[in-house]
């Protein structure tokens, strides 16, 4: 086997039983001296790209610590075991991703697997080993369609992230809200040429003009993974008379996009999916050029809004443990273990796979992000009235965030939407 693959597929085993001491910002974990653990721990495998910031691992570790500190579940403690999938590298290897999952199942003998990335590759291996796999990032509806088409084979897969349609429907609803508060109606979108973005574009192509009466005046696509100059795309959208630019960007090209919009003083408001501007560091990186841009909040916990009775408690616990606010990857992993798995195991009263599957299917829980999380019959994340996950925030003066969608939360927080100071179709409109 390639030596590089061997070094990349590294195992990080964290037995979170008691916090002994914090040294130079780190932590030491040990077994209680002189005591024996009667029951084997419940092993949870975390499969993600460990070269990234350890958000997913940190969320999982914190959840396990909290459960273990209160006595565990079924008389057992949680053990977190991480494997590197390298899935977010530019040239990831599907074989290496599956090998990492196989190691978790056959070598580490984990009871459950939580995966961030690569679910479309991993679902077959999980089905083969009859191991519960909970996906936290892939939006592909084809994954949960397999549960519908062949339940007995794919019943082991559950998804807690939004699928493509659910995400796009909420994006469209947010644009309707934007029109209500600004009067702007001419829309352009710009997104990478990748499969998941293509699905979003297809929904926008139909839903915006046909269902909601928007003028969709520009449809832009660019090659993913290349260093880009966005000036020609902006020029084309502006020439088409666009008033609203909807970015569909999931990687760091969002930085180039943000700078181009600000430097050219583009006469379009920006409202959409730009993973870069959702990062708290983007203000400093761009020297404030993200001001007045609106994006999808990577974590409502960063916004400080009390969505559920657990939101602020989870935020404070993560901040105390890791010294920073949790992003979406961190809080999803935390919620998955702290509330979803813990609740399912309590009701199943066993870790036996079939029993836990049934318990997960019947889940109705409050977590840090939702008042009533549950799954659909296809093991997809249920989204309904009053249970929308998407929040949109606008960067405003002095590096502040204002929640500008959903409408109810915008009104509850007293937020206002602000326009750029340069000329645009907003003309003499007052901020709403």
- pLDDT tens for each residue of 294-320: 998 766 666 777 888 998 899 999 999
Facing residues of 296 across strands?
A: 392
pLDDT tens figures, 192-212: 888 778 888 999 999 999 999
User: Residue 411 contacts by C-beta under 8 Å, 6 or more apart in sequence?
Assistant: none
User: Is residue 27 a contact partner of residue 17, using CB atoms and an 8 Å limit?
Assistant: no
Residue 4: predicted pLDDT? 40
Q: Do residues 97 and 119 lie in contact, with contact meaning Cβ atoms separated by under 8 Å?
A: no
The token pair at 40 is: 């084997």
170/322 Cα distance (integer angstroms): 31
Question: 171 near 390, Cβ under 8 Å?
Answer: yes
Q: Using an 8 Å Cβ cutoff, are 370 and 310 in contact?
A: no
Nearest-angstrom CA–CA distance, 243 and 273: 17
pLDDT tens per residue, range 350-408: 999 999 999 999 999 999 988 889 999 999 998 876 555 678 899 999 889 899 998 88
Between the alpha carbon of residue 38 and those of residues 14, 35, 108, 112, 342, the distances in Å are 19, 9, 19, 21, 20
Q: What local confidence, expressed as pLDDT, does residue 385 receive?
A: 62
Higher per-residue pLDDT: 181 or 166: 181
Task: Quote the pLDDT of residue 168.
Answer: 86
Q: Which residue has the higher pLDDT, 160 or 38?
A: 160
Provide the mean pLDDT of the chain: 86
Domains and CATH numbers, the chain: 3-162+309-361 (3.40.50.2300), 165-300+389-413 (3.40.50.2300)
Beta bridge partners of 50: none
* Phi, psi of 318, rounded to the nearest 5 degrees: -70, -45
Q: For residue 301, what pLDDT is reported?
A: 66
Which of 45, 39, 53 is CA-nearest to residue 329? 53
């Amino acid at each position: 086997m390639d030596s590089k693959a061997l070094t990349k597929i590294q195992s990080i085993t964290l037995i979170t039983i008691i916090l002994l001491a914090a040294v130079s910002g780190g932590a030491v974990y040990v077994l209680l001296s002189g005591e024996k653990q009667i029951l084997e721990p419940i092993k949870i495998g975390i499969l993600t790209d460990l070269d990234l910031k350890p958000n997913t691992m940190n969320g999982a570790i914190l959840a396990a610590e909290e459960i273990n500190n209160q006595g565990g579940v079924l008389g057992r403690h949680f053990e977190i075991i991480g494997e590197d999938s390298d899935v977010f590298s530019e040239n990831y290897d599907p074989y290496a991703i599956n090998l990492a999952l196989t190691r978790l199942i056959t070598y580490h003998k984990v009871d459950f697997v939580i995966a961030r990335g690569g679910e479309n590759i991993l679902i077959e291996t999980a089905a083969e080993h009859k191991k519960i796999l909970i996906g936290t990032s892939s939006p592909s509806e084809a994954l949960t369609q397999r549960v519908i088409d062949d339940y007995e084979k794919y019943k082991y897969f559950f998804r807690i992230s939004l699928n493509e349609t659910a995400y796009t429907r909420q994006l469209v609803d947010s644009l309707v809200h934007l029109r209500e508060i600004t009067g702007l109606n001419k829309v352009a979108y710009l997104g990478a040429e990748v499969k998941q973005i293509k699905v979003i574009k297809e929904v926008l192509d139909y839903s915006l003009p046909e269902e909601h009466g928007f003028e969709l005046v520009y449809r832009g696509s660019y090659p993913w993974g290349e260093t880009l100059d966005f000036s020609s795309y902006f020029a084309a959208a502006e020439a088409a008379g666009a008033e609203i630019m909807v970015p569909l960007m999931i990687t760091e090209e969002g930085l180039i996009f943000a700078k181009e919009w600000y430097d050219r003083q583009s006469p379009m408001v920006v409202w959409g999916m730009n993973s870069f501007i959702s990062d708290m560091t983007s203000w400093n990186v761009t020297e404030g050029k993200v001001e007045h841009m609106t994006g999808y909040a990577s974590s409502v916990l960063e916004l400080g809004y009390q969505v559920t009775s657990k939101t602020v408690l989870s935020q404070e616990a993560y901040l105390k443990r890791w010294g920073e606010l949790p992003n979406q990857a961190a809080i999803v992993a935390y919620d998955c273990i702290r509330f979803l798995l813990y609740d399912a195991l309590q009701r199943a009263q066993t870790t036996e796979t079939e029993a836990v599957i049934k318990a997960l299917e019947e889940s109705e829980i409050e977590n840090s992000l939702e008042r009533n999380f549950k799954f659909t019959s296809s093991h997809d994340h249920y989204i309904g009235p009053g249970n929308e996950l998407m929040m949109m925030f606008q960067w405003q003066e002095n590096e502040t965030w204002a929640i500008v969608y959903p409408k109810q939360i915008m009104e509850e927080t007293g937020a206002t939407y602000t326009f750029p100071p340069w000329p645009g179709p907003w003309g003499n409109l007052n901020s709403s």
